Amino acid sequence: METINVRTRFAPSPTGNLHVGGARTALFCYLQARAVKGVFILRIEDTDLERSTPESVQAILDGMRWLGLDYDEGPYYQTKRFGRYAEVVAALLEDGKAYHCYCSKERIDALREEQMKAGVKPRYDGHCRDDAEPVKGVKPVVRFRNPLEGDVIFDDLVRGRISISNGELDDLVIARPDGSPTYNFTVVVDDMDMGVTLVIRGDDHINNTPRQINIYRALGAGLPEFAHVPMILGGDGARLSKRHGAVGVLQYRDDGYLPQALLNYLVRLGWSHGDQEIFSLQEMIDKFDIRDVNRKASAFNTEKLDWLNQQYMKNLPAGEVAQHLAWYFERAGIDPAPGPSLADLVSVQADRVKTLREMTDQSRVFYENFNEYDAGAARKHLRPVAEQPLRAIGGRLADLAKWDPERLNEAVRITAEELGVGMGKIAQPLRVALTGTAISPSIDKTLWLAGRERSLARIRRALEYVMARAAAN
């Protein structure tokens, strides 16, 4: 595997958005290719015309790009390769390695039902396998002539040796009456034509592998290596589905996660490197080996993703995080121009929130005016006793030479000392005055982000509120 040009591929079918399970498979394919300086191919398996949609194709492409999983070849589309599949089917037919089958769906269904009832594995009985009579008016399907005897054995890079008897397999349909090819056939032709040397895919395909291997052999093609990675389950241990909420990669983007964080979370699902939790993309590439992947399905845990996301928000350069944040601001309709730089904002907010979306929501107040005070916060902190502290700090701030966190902190501290009260007596009313709520960054940082003009105006407004309230009593 490490000696010659490794070629991996990610081959999703565009019947929905790129979900986290697929994204992790794509990540593994990507990492393995990069780790050995191989080639990573993207192929869209869109032979199911009924369920494939252009929107899904776009969602997959967008998801890949957002994650930064760039591919070296593709995207290839199976729908553009129908001519090639027909050619291979014809060759197989010619060689007697496939045959026409005229059995009706009704017959097949009845057969299956019978077999299930008899307690055996349902499979095609080979009715048309040998010299079947063409049935007038029936367009036949093409079936692959699977070997009757022997076992198919392969050494899966993550599962180890897997063996299944040909007696368990049947003659699968490789082309429908209209000539369109089926999945198990197209993958083989594509992987062969595209020179794929390592097939990494979900372990829901493990049962398909033996029959695909038989097709490779019939085609006289060399076998790629296989690595079947376990699935990702929902937080409740059940198979991941829409009822688990966010399953699409782009949903995580919309919810405020950094692509680095999601990638980091995903790579640690089923893979590890000692006790290390945080991996840059480069570290993943350097340390990843598909053979180290676990066999067990793992449950998706949003709390840990949240933690990772915060780690990234805190530790990435603020300017880099700010670039992502700008996207959320735009989406939320916030103009960043009248407020602090987004990098400054990130440096203050990163360790207080889990997502960029939360950061956006909690930062609006530094860019736009708020309409009213949070009722509970105002009741508790904007009381008549707050008048003196607010006046004192307001006066001191107005004269402050330079508006930076150090000086601001000092101003609040000195004011508290002069009034002979604790920091909280100044900070809390001030916090509510500045943000409308009792929750915000430390008071010096809050002042800093709000800026001089805005802060002074809001202190005046709070004083009016306090006095009006006093007068009302």
Judged by CB under 7 A, the chain residues 130 through 149 that form the site for RNA are 141
Q: Judged by CB under 7 A, which of 316, 443, 449, 450 binds RNA?
A: 443
- Whether residue 441 contacts residue 349, with contact meaning beta carbons closer than 8 Å, is answered with yes
Check binding of 208 to RNA (CB under 7 A): yes
Helix (H, G, I), strand (E, B) or coil at 159: coil
Instruction: Tell me, letter by letter, the H, E, C secondary structure of 310-376.
Output: HHHHHHCCHHHHHHHHHHHHHHHCCCCCCCCCHHHHHHHHHHHCCCHHHHHHHHHHHCCCCCCCCHH
Q: Judged by CB under 7 A, which of 132, 194, 221, 438 binds RNA?
A: 438
From 60-68, 305-313, 325-333, 383-391, span contacting RNA (CB under 7 A)? 305-313
Check binding of 314 to RNA (CB under 7 A): yes
Check binding of 121 to RNA (CB under 7 A): yes
Min dist CB 143 to RNA, Å, is 8
CA 160 to chain centroid: 28
Distance CA 286, CA 273 (A): 11
Q: Judged by CB under 7 A, which of 355, 363, 440, 455 binds RNA?
A: 440
Contact positions with RNA (CB under 7 A) in 358-397:
none
Q: Based on CB atoms, which residue is closest to RNA, 117 or 468? A: 117
Check binding of 153 to RNA (CB under 7 A): no
Distance CA 443, CA 412 (A): 8
Tokens of 390: 């607010």
Phi, psi (deg, nearest 5) at residue 164:
-145, 145
Contact positions with RNA (CB under 7 A) in 1-20:
13
Q: Please state whether the peptide bond connecting residue 75 to the residue before it is cis, i.e. omega within 30 degrees of 0.
A: yes
Contact positions with RNA (CB under 7 A) in 267-296:
268-272, 274-275, 277, 292, 294-296
Backbone torsion region of residue 360, taken as left when φ is above 0, otherwise alpha when ψ lies between -120 and 50, otherwise beta:
alpha
Check binding of 441 to RNA (CB under 7 A): yes
Min dist CB 452 to RNA, Å, is 18
From 62-70, 250-258, 396-404, 434-442, span contacting RNA (CB under 7 A)? 434-442
Contact positions with RNA (CB under 7 A) in 316-345:
none
DSSP string covering 411-459: HHHHHHHHHT--HHHHHHHHHHHHHSSS--S-HHHHHHHH-HHHHHHHH
Q: Judged by CB under 7 A, which of 35, 57, 86, 108 binds RNA?
A: 108
Residue 303 makes CB contacts below 8 A (sequence gap 6+) with none
Check binding of 242 to RNA (CB under 7 A): no
Q: Based on CB atoms, which residue is closest to RNA, 38 or 349? A: 349
Min dist CB 207 to RNA, Å, is 3
Q: CA angle, corner 348, sides to 346 and 354, nearest 5?
A: 65
Check binding of 81 to RNA (CB under 7 A): no
Check binding of 29 to RNA (CB under 7 A): no
Contact positions with RNA (CB under 7 A) in 56-75:
none
Min dist CB 47 to RNA, Å, is 4
Residues in the chain: 473
Type of residue numbered 273: H
Is position 296 annotated as part of the catalytic site? no
Min dist CB 123 to RNA, Å, is 5
Min dist CB 307 to RNA, Å, is 3
Check binding of 239 to RNA (CB under 7 A): yes
Check binding of 415 to RNA (CB under 7 A): no
- Whether residue 339 contacts residue 360, with contact meaning beta carbons closer than 8 Å, is answered with no
Helix (H, G, I), strand (E, B) or coil at 172: coil
Check binding of 238 to RNA (CB under 7 A): yes
Contact positions with RNA (CB under 7 A) in 167-206:
168, 172-173, 176-177, 180, 182-184, 203-206
Check binding of 116 to RNA (CB under 7 A): yes
Distance CA 228, CA 28 (A): 11
Distance CA 151, CA 168 (A): 9
- Whether residue 92 contacts residue 218, with contact meaning beta carbons closer than 8 Å, is answered with yes
Q: Based on CB atoms, which residue is closest to RNA, 65 or 239? A: 239
Q: CA angle, corner 307, sides to 296 and 320, nearest 5?
A: 115
User: Total binding residues for RNA by CB under 7 A?
Assistant: 83
From 279-287, 396-404, 424-432, 451-459, span contacting RNA (CB under 7 A)? 424-432
Check binding of 306 to RNA (CB under 7 A): yes
Q: Judged by CB under 7 A, which of 120, 337, 471, 472 binds RNA?
A: 120
Min dist CB 294 to RNA, Å, is 5
Partners of 229 in the beta sheet?
Answer: 202
Indicate which residue of 105, 242, 314, 425 is catalytic: 242
Catalytic residue IDs: 242
